[in-house]
Amino acid sequence: MFVKQVPDSAAKITVENGVVNWGDAPLVINPWDEYAVEAALLLAEKHGGEVTAYSLGDENAKEALKHALAMGCQQAVLISDPALANADTAAVARALAAAAQKDGADLALFGKQAIDWDSGVTPSMTARVLGWPALSLVAAVPALDPAGKTIKVERAIEEGRQVVESRLPAALSIVKDYAEPRYPSFMGIRKAAQAQIPSWTLADLGISAPANTVETLEISAPPAREVSNEIITGDSPADIAAKLVDKIIGEGVL
């Protein structure tokens, strides 16, 4: 399963000369990835198997991996190579796919997106590189047969709930409905603190640097919005409501 290290969602994010800054806010495991870690652990507990957490990034990303280890993952691997410094999502997907293949994974689990670049395409892209079915927005796995190489998932799609059967191996993106992520245990935290996390380069993965096609030209702060605040007061709720409705209708948004 794959995790990413991101600034805390409460961070005040700014940019200066194209460099993103999150002040003294902590780096944390991407909140959506915690659901994927939980799903992976539950599946391994029920059906057997081991859970390895992978993260692509610099040394900082080891913190996200330690969090995954503290939650109960058996192994963690950092994928780190200077050639991946400005990797776009396609390049990231090719590196993650190589890692899944190297370890002979049957299932690849992802959070649905990362809260930094909000792309939401890495899970399906990785699936495509691997040639595996992409099963997204998975809220439950009612059946998994590792020997028979089949899986049945329940997807929380915008239109409702959909049950999909698929062959294994497969790549899943997990949504919040799956299960509340467990807190790292005291023993888990100790184990994670002592864990040696191997670092793999592209050469270790047996691939050359994937081509980058997406180029970031500029990062900027959004234009400040001039909001003229107006507090509506009145003699009674009905009076306030009537005034507010007039104001809203006056804005021409209905």
Partner 1 sequence: MSKFFVFIDQFKGQALPASWEVVTAARQLADQAGGSVSALVFGPEAEALAQTAIHYGADEALACADATLSDYRPEAYTSLLAQLAKEHSPQAVLFPTTTRGRELAGMLAIDLESGVLPDVTAINLQDGKLVATRPIYAGKLLAKVVCNATPQLLTLRARAFGKPAADSSRSGSVSSVAAALAEGDIASKVVDYAAGDGRVSLGDAGVIISGGRGVATNPNLTPPAEITDAKEKEIWLAHQGFALLTELAEVLGAAVGASRAAVDAGYVPYAHQVGQTGKVVSPDLYIAAGISGAIQHLAGMRTSKVIVAINKDADAPIFKVARFGVVGDLYELLPALTQAFKERLNK
Question: How many Å from the N-terminal Cα to the C-terminal Cα in the chain?
Answer: 45
Q: Which is nearer to partner 1, 187 or 232 (CB)?
A: 232
Q: Which of 41, 45, 112, 46 is nearest to 75 (CA)?
A: 41
Smallest separation, CB 236 to partner 1 (Å): 8
Q: Which is nearer to partner 1, 2 or 32 (CB)?
A: 32
Q: Do the Cβ atoms of 130 and 207 come closer than 8 Å? A: no
How many C-beta neighbours within 10 Å does residue 142 have?
10
Binding pattern for the stretch 36-75 against partner 1, x by CB under 8 A and - elsewhere: ----------------------------------------
Say whether residue 102 binds partner 1 (CB under 8 A). Answer: no
Among 186, 213, 224, 235, binds partner 1 (CB under 8 A): 213
Q: Which is nearer to partner 1, 194 or 251 (CB)?
A: 251
Among 10, 19, 147, 224, binds partner 1 (CB under 8 A): 10
- List the 199-200 sheet strands across, edge first: 52-56, 75-79, 199-200
Say whether residue 137 binds partner 1 (CB under 8 A). Answer: yes
Among 16, 24, 159, 235, binds partner 1 (CB under 8 A): 159
d(CA 117, CA 244): 37
* Contact region with partner 1 (CB under 8 A), list: 50-58, 68-76, 190-198, 234-242: 234-242
Residue by residue, what is the 3-state secondary structure of 34-71? HHHHHHHHHHHHHHCCCCEEEEECCHHHHHHHHHHHHH
Among 48, 147, 222, 224, binds partner 1 (CB under 8 A): 222
d(CA 33, CA 109): 9
